[in-house]
Structures are given as structure tokens and as C-alpha cells.
Structure 1
Amino acid sequence: MSDLRFDSQPPRHTDVPRPRRAEGQWAFGYREPLNKNEESKKNDDALNVRDRILHIYSKRGFDSIDPADLRGRFRWMGLYTQRKPGIDGGKTGALEEEELDDRYFMLRVRSDGKLLSPDAVRTLGRIGVDFARDTADVTDRQNIQYHWIDVKDVPTIWERLDEVGLHSLEACGDSPRPFLGSPVAGVAADEIIDGTSALEEIERRYLGNKDFSNFPRKFKTALTGHPSHDVCPETNDVSFVGTVHPELGPGFDVWVGGGLSTNPMLAQKLGVWIPLDDVPDVWEGVASIFRDYGYRRLRSRARLKFLVADWGVEKFREVLEKEYLGKELVTNPSPPSPVGHRDHIGVHAQKDGKFYVGVAPTVGRVSGTLLVELADLLEEHGVAGARLTPYQKIVLLGVDGEQVDALVDRLDEIGLSARPSNWRRNTMACTGIEFCKLAIVDTKDRARDLVAELERRFPDLDKQVPSGITVNVNGCPNACARTQVADIGLKGQLVLDDDGNQVEGFQVHLGGATGLGANFGRKLRAHKVTSSGLDDYISNVVTNYLADRKDDERFADWAARADDEALRGDKVLESSL
């Protein structure tokens, strides 16, 4: 494999066309920074900020922090300043970042598909209680996310995390962002291959490695050996997806160039087979292409998806093989795409005779106290541990059969249901305006209220629509909650109500999907919904779907053919519910 430093250039054995104008690609010798982010990274590797946090900022306090660290390099340590309370969404894009900054931080703790022991879950809970005003969210990147963190407490938090094998290193920033791993790796009866060891090796080799700490922008990784593709591989920069070669057996296909935000693209499939032991090397190759050839001129184009789109997947594979791997990959058809749930909610048999239990916090919001209570239950019922999911859920692994019923009942008591309604199971929400400086509208509270109202209005939906209806709520265009691939995706923005007042609302995406039939939802022209009108709007659309669907037609398929009037909710058909 290549041993590349930032001041070197990769060997070029392929005819990669030089762009017509400078895009800041290192492979072509464009080393002079073309924007302030690239300038900051050139001035000082972001990984160096850890020592300043430990030895300067945590001792001298918030006012001692260099602005270039505060709004830049801190992110490599999983720290963002959170939104100052009381600033409405209309000012999100109008104020300078320093005007939006609070004196407290959001902190992301990576799990990277790890099995969290009861001690680890308890530690995560105690951190929330002791340092984060009892906050804790399960994110769709398998992180635990805190708020109200004081920089003075960060060294103590890091020490506690280190004691249970966790950390926040490169949880944000232009870095190898947290890895998504199958929540049921190693235990699922229908698993193709367990990729846990590959994720562990990628973490060991490349996190904290200055050869891979300065990407053009964030770089998201996913890996699963489960046939449900339970890590949303379509929307990651690089994904390793379990597959079977007719002669060589189980291995992984490689998908590249997925990502959402304002210019969404689904990952493209290389159609290859690689063995488990080669996954870290291939990860390094893909990451190195992004580092060396990725666009650094405009932040809006500084994602791998734009390079893959411009090159094409054939050219990408050629460069990967010739310049970075030094060998050809084995061609193999990509695995079939699944249909149905990927979240592992409920009780399921493991291949070792035990069970795993998937539970659903409402829109990912938990608390430090709740995590401590969960740790108590894990110990009380002899559970091996927990994994977080890319759908803001938690899966408990290694449950003895005689403990299952009692555990499920106790989980209900603390608010972590293994038998949730469709709406609780299938609704996700990003952080929103409560803490996020990019957000325009409230998401977490609005989504929780929406779930409660839809449960009241459609109490029997689970029986009518076993496949469910997904609702993803996002506070801005960045699609952290994967707006475009939900049945009903809601992108926060300011809209006008009937009286002409500017209020919180959403642009609506309908019929998005991953897996079989993966696509981005329809956007209806000039169609916006106020936050206060959201309950009625979704009720009208769901009612129209139930009345108009054909047999067991999925919502996404119905939305693709339904007329605009039905999707706008302007007319309401008579429902069978």
C-alpha cells in the first residue's frame, strides 16, 4: 500500500484527466489552499488541537480558545459549539458563526459498531448526568451526542470514555467520520459475513493518523455483512456490503460516492468481491483517492460523490486498482437489494441460541439517566451488551431465552420499547434548532409530538401496513436525518402561513427509499407545510395512501404514481381505517 505524506504526490499509472480549472486536487500539485478551511488545515494539523484542549483550554476556559481551533480544529475532537439559546431560525444564515456560538459544546462519542458493555453504557449515561445536563441522543451515525459540555470538563470526559474503550477522536471534521457497522454483527442467524474485525483494523490503522486527517471534507464509512444492508450503504462515501462469490465464498462488495445534503447521490457499486482481510487496504485506497484527487476549491463540491460522478465508476475502480492497490479486484455481481426494515426492532433469535432485542427511543432522544437505567437492566438480565443503529435505535445482544419476556417488559417501563408503534419505530429527527447552528426549525420536540398525534389518529396502522411508513425530520437542507430517502421526508425552512407571516415549516419529499427501488422522494412544486399544520398534512396524505393503494403497495410505490393533489393533501379520500 502507499505510504503517502501530505507533502508527497501519489504515483500515477492511469490517465486521469487534469481538470480544466484548479479544483485544489493534491494529485495535480495544487497545494495552495483555495478557501479558509483548507488554509486552516495547512496551518496546523487538526489532530494537534487535542493537546491544547488538555493543557491550555480546559484549564483557562472558553475565552482562551483560539478562534481557528474553536470553529475548526475542535471538530476533529468531536466538539462543536452549540447554538446560543433564543436565536430564531430566520437568523441562521444571516449571523456570523461567532454570533451563533454558545459557550457550551456538543460532543459526539463514536461507537463504530462496537458492542457496548454494561459498564460502557453506564459510563455514557453518567457523562450525560454529570456533565451534559442529562442530555444524550442516539444519532443515525451510531454516536451518542451530548450538549451543554464545558471545555473544562472535556479531559475528565475523555478519561472516562477511554476506560471503557470509547472516544470522540475525529467524530467530526474533514476526517474519517464515525463508521457504521451492522448492529447484529457476529450474532445474526442470517448474516453473510461478520466484518467486525475489519472495522477494528481500520480504526487501529487510520484514526489519529495524520496521513488521513486532512480530507477535502468529511468521509463516511459503512460496513455490513447482513443481507438487510442495515447500515444504509447507499448514502455513504464508501460502503462494504456482504456478498458471496460462487467459488471464493463470503466477502464484500465496495460501493462509493453516496451522500445526501443539497445535491444527493446514491453510492455506485463497483461489483467486486474482496475478502475480509483486504477490507482495511481497500478502505485506505478509497480514502487516499479522496484525499489526493478530491476537490478542495469549493466546500460545496468537496465530497467524494462529485469525483465519482465526474470520473464514472469504471475510472474510479481503475485508479483504485492501479495507483493504490497494485492489483486487480475480483469482479462479482453486486448483492441483491433488500426490501423492508433494517432496524432490528423486536426480539430475534441469534445463531448461538440466545436472542437480540431491538428497542426504539423516540426520534433517538434518550438521556443520561435513561442510559444508566438501561445499564442496570443489562446487568440485571445478564445481557452481553448493546449496539447503536444507523436508525437512532439500540439493539441488546446476548439475551438468554428465559430472560426475554421480563427484559422486554422492563424496557417498556423505562421508555425503550421493543414493540413500538409504526410511528415511533419509523420516525427519525436531527438535532434541530435547539442546539444546532445550521438548523432553521425545531425537529426533536416537533417530531415527538408528531409521533404521539399520529399514534392517536392511526392506532391500527401496523396491521394495515406491515412494511410501515418512514418519516425523517430535518432542521435544514443538510439532510443529517436522510430526508430524501424516507417515505415522508421533511426539510426544515421558513414558510408563510395563511396570514402571510413567516413561520417554521417544511419542504416535503415523498416516496424516497433505500434498498430495492432506491430513489429520492418527489418534491412537489412550490409545496410547503407549516410546522403547526404538519399533523393534519401527514394525516391527509396517509389517509389518501390507505384509500388509493393497490393490495400491499408500499408507500414509496404509491407516491411515485399518485397525483399531485393527493400528495398535497388538498383532497382527502375515504379511508378504510
Structure 2
Amino acid sequence: MTSVASGSRALRPPRTGRSHGQWAVDGQEPLNPNEAFKAEDNGLNVRERIEQTYAVEGFDSIPGDDLHGRFRWWGLYTQRKPGIDGGRTAQLEPHELEDKFFMLRVRTDGQVLSPAQLRALGGISTDFARESADISDRQNVQYHWIAIESVPEVWRRLEAVGLQTTEACGDTPRGFLGSPVAGVAADEIIDPTPVIREITSRWLGDTELSNLPRKFKTAITGHPSLDVVHEINDISLVGVVHPELGPGFDLWVGGALSTAPRLAERLGVFVSEADAPDVWHGVISIFRDYGYRRMRTKARLKFLLAEWGPEKFRHVLETEYLGRALPDGPAPAPARGPGDHVGVHPQKDGRFYVGAAPVVGRISGTILTRLGDLVERVGGDGVRLTAHQKLVILGVPQDGVDELVAGIEELGLTATPSPFRRSTMACTGIEYCKLAIVDTKDTATAVIAELEERLAGIELDTPISLHVNGCPNSCARIQTADIGLKGLITTDDAGANVPGFQVHLGGGLASTERDEAGLGRTVRGLRVLATDLADYVERITRRFLEQRVDSESFATWAHRVDDEELT
């Protein structure tokens, strides 16, 4: 904690009433079991036990606080045991739901994955993860079927090529979202890469920031497409040009979704590239010191911002943590172009970047390895992942573009996806996630195939995003999709309990070419069976195209029409 912060807090009267567990106000006494295990031993310390004890003695040697807690500080969650249906998700304890295998999350923090790194990621999948590999909407690579005995070798291979799982999960600064076209796009306002590198090199793995109230998500972009979904991160730095100070960043704080969605708010300050690392550190330190720790359901930064408001937040940041005022700054312009970067695009150096779409982020070790070989063969620089479960191949020479585009098609990727393949995302779902209620990846894949056939002759001049989530926690950002689907158990016509979805309609973010970010609406009682999902999406798409006024977006139409038009 900074001396400025300590001095200012010393003048505050003690809180009256019930404690929220705010360290700067209430002290650091743990108020729940989660806070207690973090106070007993920092989550970063578990790595030595994994390498020296658990990987040697096996899964059954792992105590509960490490297995269900501190392992997350190194990107490890136990995965769901196969064969447990969604109706039992809320009825069983974690140890009853979990298998003796792990999901392992590799963070990329907006970096370019070289051919060597792609092959290393692919080899880990093939050798240790049964060919599993998913691109998450946080620009992570997620493996499944990782055995505890394999973890030290996986870390060795990752770190040999400059990758890591440090603080990929847990109450920590999670993986950073960075613009996939940072440093290469011809229309870039400012390259965020130096800022991301500075922050991660200084503070990733720092024990002063490894016990936060809950997770802390960061997004930094300098591209006018606003390609890092800045409205739903705890902190976002968005490229702008100050009329006097030149290029820099606009600061947003307090965004997050889950069961209590809230969009981030601007603080109205201009952040220079030089100031950006300290500003990031100030915001995360506010969260550490003032975030609510008594109840985990209230332990995100969005709840503190809701109480304080942006004016007070800015005042505390400037006076207690930075010790100086920040200049006022402009808001970012409306997004120009889609933020997924799919397709072939010229770079500012005369080469090209190519955005490619897998199906709902699902790839494999073989695909990663062969992609690394392909990128190297055509003379490309490497690959960045996107916030939309896509990937972008950078630095492709003009004479290598056609070979690359043809090569990725052979790998099951495409630079020219159908509208629904391009705009559909899905979380992990019941296949591996202990919180999930329904299947997501396979369901979404089947729906895409159906829609590609049924709507083949329909021209969609505006994208319709379809986000499929296996539970209420919104890892697939259901409230910010045109059609967002929240998994649940419902009843069919025969009265049987079956997988289904609650529907959210008309959400969107600036990076999806919507004029203004907003959350979707729900229609009371509207639930769709998983088996009827393609029918519903086809029906609602055709109805939108019949009823839209001029060129209005799906989101505008969905908020305009009556409930019965949305069923």
C-alpha cells in the first residue's frame, strides 16, 4: 500500500455498522472461509507443493484448500466428472462433481504467439490433454484432461517458450485482453503492447496483488474497432487522441457480467502511455484495499463503483494512490468496424493480417501444431487470439496470403465464415465445467450447421450474435449478445426435465458495431428447449428481417417490439 493511501486513510473515522470486509476500512481479519485460506497461505506458494509433492504422490494427496482454492493461482481447476447430468449440478458438492483431471488455462496477455509457441501449445495438448484446446473469450488457451503428474512438465514446456499460467485463475489479476492487431493495424491510434508488457513484467506474480477480493480483469486497446470488450472489464484503457496531449488512453472501470451485470463507466481522465502502468496499479490497489470481502457475491469492483460513483472513484485514485491529478480527456469515438478482425486486412507495413474463425473457439493440439508450421511456411510473424474466440495471423507477406487462407481452411478454420459461425460463442459447458447445467459447445456447433443450411439464401447485412452459456455466470457474455442463451433445466411437452435456455435479446457492445453498449432484455416465461434452439433462432431471425425499419440493428428491433414478437 502506498504511503499516500495510508496517510489519507488514517484520518477516516471507523466504520459504524456491519463490516464489508474492506481492508482499508475494516482491517484484514478474514470474514469467510475463502478469505481465511488466502490469509493462511498465499496462493502463489502452492506451486512448490505441486511440483515437489502432489505431482509425485498423486491426486489423492492434495488437501482441499489447495485443490479447490490455491491451485487456481496457477491456472488449475478440477474438471467435471463425465456422466453427471445438469439437474444434479446444484445438488452435489464440488468433490462429488469433480474428476481427477484438471482444466489448465494458459494466459497470452495479448502477445503474438510465434510458430514455436504454437507448436509447444499443440504438443502439450497432444501429449497431456487428449488433444483438447479451446480459445476462450479472454484470449486464453484452455486444456482439459491434465493429470497432476503432468503439470510440472507442462509448465516446463510453456516457460521454455515464454508462456505461463501464473494467476490465470483465482483472486488475482487475470489474463489481459489486448488488441489482436496491436502494432500492425494501419488505423491504430496507439500501440498498447508496451503498456501491457510493463504491467505484466512488474506486477504479475507480485504477492502484494495476489490476494484480491475476487478476480480482476484488464483490457487495453488502441484500435478504433474497440476490440477488447472494454465495457465489461474491471479496468480498461481505450485508445483516444487528446487535443493537446496527443495519443493516449481513456480510463473505464467497474464492468462485469455474471448474475448482476453492470457496464463499466468512464472516469473522464486522459492517461498517457507513461502514466498507464501506475494508473492500472492504482485501480487494482483500490480494489484490493476497498473491495468488499465479506460476501463473494459482492466482491467484484463493480459493486464498489456502484456505491462510490465515478467521481469519488477518480478522487480516491488521484489523491490516495497516484498523489496527483490526471487531466480530463475525451471519450473514444464509436467503433469503426467489427472487433473480431475476421478476414484479410492490410497492415501498415505492407504485409497482411488474416482473422480466422474456428467453431465456438474449439481447436486441438494437432491444429495448433500444424498452424505453427503453416505460419512459418508462409513467412508470417505469429498469431494473436481475440476476445471473440477467434485468432488472427499477423505479418503475412502478400505472396503468402492465398496459401495461408487455403491452409487454414484445411485445418478447419476459415477467413470467410458464415454469419452465424462468425458471431456465435459458447462457454465450456457441462462437458467439463462443474458449474454448468447444459451442453454448450456441441449444441452451438449443431445449431450453426443447421442455420447455415436453413438461412443459406438470406442476406444478413447486420451481424446477429448468438452466445451460448451453460449456467447463469455468463462466461460467454449472454447479456451483451443479440441472442444470449442461459442454460437451465426446463420441462418439455411430456413434463420431463430437459436441457433448455432462458433467452436474452438485444444486448451488445461497442465492438460489435452497436451504436451504444447495452444489456439484453428477457421475455417473461420465454424458455427454449435445447432441441428447439435452431428452430427458435431461425424464426426470430426471419421475423427481424421482415419487421426491421430501414437498416436498424437486431438490438434496436429487439428492444422496440412487443414480447410476443420475440417468442
Tell me the TM-score normalised to structure 2 length.
0.97
**Residues 459-506 of structure 1: per-residue CA shift (max 9 Å, x gap):** 144xx2223110000000000000000000000011111111111000
1:2 aligns with 2:2: yes
The one-letter code matched in structure 2 to 1:341 is P
1:458 aligns with 2:434: no
User: Which one of the candidate residues 130, 135, 140 is aligned to 2:137?
Assistant: 140
Secondary structure of 1:330's aligned partner:
coil
Report the residue type matching 1:249 in the other structure.
G
Alignment of 1:534-549 (within 5 A): 534-549=533-548
Unaligned 5+ runs, structure 2: none
Is 1:183 the counterpart of 2:142? The answer is no
Percent identity between the two aligned chains: 59
Distance 1:13 1:548, change over 3 A: farther
Task: List aligned pairs for 1:298-337, cutoff 5 A.
Answer: 298-337=295-334
Is 1:492 aligned to 2:487, yes or no? yes
1:15 CA displacement: 6.5
Change (3 A) 1:17 1:307: farther
Output the CA distance in 2 between the equivalents of 1:512 and 1:145. 26
Which residue is 2:154 aligned to? Answer: 157
The aligned counterpart of 2:464 is 469
**1:208 aligned to 2:205?**
yes
Quote how far apart the aligned CAs of 1:16 are. Answer: 9.4
- Tell me if 1:286 matches 2:283: yes
- Does residue 345 (structure 1) correspond to residue 345 (structure 2)? The answer is no
Distance 1:11 1:55, change over 3 A: farther
Q: Aligned equivalents of 1:14 and 1:422: distance in 2?
A: 57
Give the Cα separation in 1 of the matches to 2:16 and 2:235: 23
CA distance in 1, matches of 2:327, 2:162: 35
| Structure 2 residue 547 is the aligned partner of structure 1 residue 552 | no
Maintained 8 Å contact 1:14/1:319: no
Structure 1 segment 407-446 matched on structure 2, within 5 A: 407-446=404-443
- 2:123 corresponding residue in structure 1: 126
Partner of 1:574: none
Q: Distance in 2 between matches of 1:257 and 1:19?
A: 26
Alignment of 1:96-111 (within 5 A): 96-111=93-108
Cα shift at 1:335 = 1.2
In structure 1, C-alpha distance between the alignment counterparts of 2:336 and 2:418, rounded to whole Å: 19
In the alignment, which residue of structure 2 is the partner of 1:573?
A: none
How far is the alpha carbon of 1:338 from its aligned partner?
1.6
Distance 1:19 1:120 in 2: 54
Residues 48-72 of structure 1 deviation map (CA, whole Å, 9 limit, x = unaligned): 0011011111111101111110000
Distance (Å, rounded) in 2 between the aligned partners of 1:230 and 1:103: 37
Q: What is the 5 A alignment of 1:210-225?
A: 210-225=207-222
Structure-2 change in CA distance of 1:43 and 1:523 (3 Å): same
Q: Distance in 2 between matches of 1:322 and 1:19?
A: 24
Residue 241 of structure 2 contacts residue 330 of structure 2 at CA under 8 Å; is this kept in 1?
A: no
Q: Which amino acid aligns with 2:475?
A: C
RMSD, matched Cα: 1.5
2:376 corresponds to: 379
Amino acid at match of 1:457: R
State the one-letter code of the partner of 1:294.
Answer: G
- Offset at residue 2 of structure 1 (A): 2.1
Cα deviation, residue 29, structure 1: 3.2
Structure 1 position 11, deviation (Å): 3.9
**Is the partner of 1:175 in helix, strand or coil?**
coil
Cross-structure match for 1:529: 528
Contact 1:13–1:323 under 8 Å retained in 2:
no
Q: Which moved more, 1:334-343 or 1:296-305?
A: 334-343
Residue aligned with 2:78, SS: strand
> Residues 14 and 30 of structure 1: is their aligned pair in 2 closer, same or farther, counting only changes over 3 Å?
closer
Change (3 A) 1:450 1:207: same
Query: Cα–Cα, structure 1 residues 15 and 33, in superposed 2: closer, same or farther, change >3 Å?
Result: closer
Q: Name the structure 1 match of 2:267.
A: 270
Question: What's the CA shift for 1:12?
Answer: 2.5
Aligned counterparts of 1:259 and 1:450: Cα–Cα separation in 2: 27
Q: Which whole-Å CA distance do the structure 1 matches of 2:80 and 2:539 have between them?
A: 34
| 1:505-516 map, 5 Å | 505-515=500-510, 516=515
Task: Supply the distance in 2 between the matched residues of 1:540 and 1:10 (Cα, whole angstroms).
Answer: 61
Q: Given the superposition, is the C-alpha separation of residues 225 and 15 from structure 1 closer, same or farther in structure 2, using an over 3 Å criterion?
A: farther
Question: CA shift at 1:339, angstroms?
Answer: 5.8
Structure 1 residue 17: Cα displacement = 9.1
1:421-447 deviation line (CA, Å, top 9, x unaligned): 001100000000000000000000000
Of 107, 111, 114, the match for 2:111: 114
Gapped runs of 5+ residues in structure 1? 569-577
Conservation of the 8 A alpha-carbon contact between 2:107 and 2:175: yes
Whether the 8 Å contact between 1:364 and 1:428 is mirrored in structure 2 is yes
**What's the counterpart of residue 251 of structure 1?**
248
Structure 2 distance, partners of 1:482, 1:163, is: 34
Q: Is the 8 A contact 1:9 1:29 kept in 2?
A: no
Q: Does the CA contact (< 8 Å) of 1:14 and 1:318 recur in 2? A: no
C-alpha contact (below 8 Å) 2:224/2:336 kept by paired residues:
no
Q: 2:342·2:392 contact (CA, 8 Å) conserved in 1?
A: yes
TM-score norm. by structure 1 comes to 0.96
Give the C-alpha shift of residue 13 in structure 1: 7.9
The count of corresponding residues between Structure 1 and Structure 2 is: 563
Shift of 1:336: 2.0
Q: Is the 8 Å Cα contact of residues 20 and 26 (structure 2) preserved in structure 1?
A: no
Query: Higher mean Cα deviation, 201-210 or 213-222?
Result: 201-210
